[in-house]
A and B are shown apart, each in its own frame.
Chain A
């Protein structure tokens, strides 16, 4: 099936009553949850998963994808109105968005963010449509060694690009992989680390980990910040932009959408790096760099275009290889596996409705989001006024329902609380949680491909040096493991020299 026929199939899926309804619902919920400061896209998606149990997989993914890019749109609103970014990728949005709002141009700032998000989303969906089938075609020839190397590379890159210490991120990832080994081993039937507990035989469900490490840990931050003011002027001002402003935005939006997409495709990088890079590079390129930080139009448009580009780009490895490159896409993978769909190079042929449906839904989703965000934003932003205490108890209730729906056991609920506590301490000690979640979801797949490869070679590790792609991927993984640690060590040495000198 060619790209053109494929995308037509996709539009058929989306342009049904059900399809449009779920894209709309996803986009709306995503925008609303994304607006609430402190709640990121992982929480937004994880909270929605229980609703998708028993749904058609194509519709479920349509809904979750809508939540995902909706959250990227919504994150801009709290950054602009409250100077409180929902997560790290919308931090650069506050640099120029909040000053604009303080000047009484909040409406204008929201309009710029919505348009930039739309352009970023749309340009990158076009690139995604062209790139994903090509990559999937290439990946069909991949054997277990390539898959193992690819996942290892993704995991190491996520860890070395995470905020803060690389060693801590790698520890997170190792612990996540260890948690994945709990349960009955699929190949030999051996019980591993179950401590005789029947409830652990099937392992721990990914939703327990996602909701515990992210949603509950974010709830504890909301508790600390519950007294923070949620006041903002309800008068947003005009949403209209003049010709010069549109001209000023056009260049940065175009460039940063493409750059953001490319960064998003790489495992580990994602929205945060894309939006910071966009802000810094546009400041250098700008003819009016002194305006940056004081309400620059280009400074607001660039990171918004870039982070939406990156959000879309991160779907490429998920849809073509079946390997998530970020915590957020990892949650989506987990949800799809629950629904009986295994993403990967065969997805395009086995479930064309899911594959092309999601891609087509992104075109429609971006249009819906532009409509939602431009005229309706003054009404939607009212969600920022929900009293924090009420919000906190409701989020806890949603986490409990979500986990209970997996196995109908209170045991899982206690595990959820345990992972909430672990997530809280990890945030307190600056251990990033995304590598742990990603390693947990990739862990089972990595072990399987490793053991498949070693079964083929009868136990010899040399099989990993036979194919050029495998060797190349492993080399990248090794470099991204060694370089940050070496840099850390050299920095320390320099510190010592400056101290003694």
Chain B
């Protein structure tokens, strides 16, 4: 029954619509306005429900079959993991060091083999960005364990 991509997506969207609708019906009342805060969400929930049911009966587009090779999925998941680690350490260790390590490791992992230029870029770019943002643009980036 769920052999087509559209049908699977449609089921997920129907679940989202139902959960969203349930949450909209549980929104607290505010008695002093003619239109309360739950009106638009309820309408949106029903629209999504209606469109998702329509999608269930639409055939998959035949021409655009995309498939991603397994090795590429591994690559993208690894980069995703790098990004998550980068974010986790971003405030703790600080912008300059985490960014330098992130650029160095990710570029190397994706196939950039020139070590010398990779190290030069990884150190100089975070420093330039850091100075540009904190000194000229007055946007504070986390200093972390570095003293400046």
A393 touching B72, Cβ below 8 Å: no
Please report the C-alpha to C-alpha distance between residue A177 and residue B20 in the assembled complex, in whole angstroms: 12
Residues of A within 8 A of B40 (CB): 181, 447, 450-451
A389 touching B80, Cβ below 8 Å: no
A187 touching B37, Cβ below 8 Å: yes
Contact with A along B17-30 (1 / 0, CB 8 A): 00010010001101
Contact with A along B75-114 (1 / 0, CB 8 A): 1100110011011101100000001001100111111101
Question: Out of B33, B37, B102, B106, which one reaches A192, CB within 8 Å?
Answer: B37
Q: Does B138 contact A (CB under 8 A)?
A: yes
Please judge, given known A-B contacts A164-B61, A223-B76, whether A451 and B121 are in contact too, CB under 8 Å.
no
Question: Out of A54, A224, A400, which one reaches B86, CB within 8 Å?
Answer: A400
Q: List residues of B (1-43) whose CB comes within 8 Å of A's CBs.
A: 5, 9, 13, 16, 20, 23, 27-28, 30, 33-37, 39-41
Residues of A within 8 A of B129 (CB): 397, 401
B61 touching A396, Cβ below 8 Å: no
A interface residues, how many (CB within 8 angstroms): 59
* B9 CB, min distance to chain A CBs, angstroms: 6
- The A/B interface has a contact count, at CB < 8 Å, of 158
Nearest B residue to A175, CB-CB = B48
Please judge, given known A-B contacts A171-B13, A226-B110, A430-B61, whether A417 and B84 are in contact too, CB under 8 Å.
yes
A174 touching B76, Cβ below 8 Å: no
Please report the C-alpha to C-alpha distance between residue A254 and residue B109 in the assembled complex, in whole angstroms: 49
Please judge, given known A-B contacts A174-B51, A178-B41, whether A413 and B87 are in contact too, CB under 8 Å.
yes
B5 touching A410, Cβ below 8 Å: no
* A484 CB, min distance to chain B CBs, angstroms: 12
Question: Out of B5, B86, B110, which one reaches A429, CB within 8 Å?
Answer: B5
A410 touching B52, Cβ below 8 Å: no
Spell out A's residues near B (CB within 8 Å).
50-51, 53-54, 164-165, 167-168, 170-171, 174-175, 177-178, 181, 185, 187-190, 192-193, 220, 223-224, 226-227, 387-390, 392-394, 396-397, 400-401, 404-405, 408, 410, 413-414, 417, 421, 428-430, 447, 450-451, 454-455, 458-459, 485, 488, 492
Other A-B contacts than A223-B76, A224-B76, A389-B108, 16 sampled, CB-CB below 8 A, are A167-B58, A174-B48, A178-B48, A181-B44, A187-B33, A192-B37, A220-B76, A227-B111, A388-B111, A389-B110, A390-B121, A401-B141, A410-B91, A413-B90, A421-B80, A485-B54
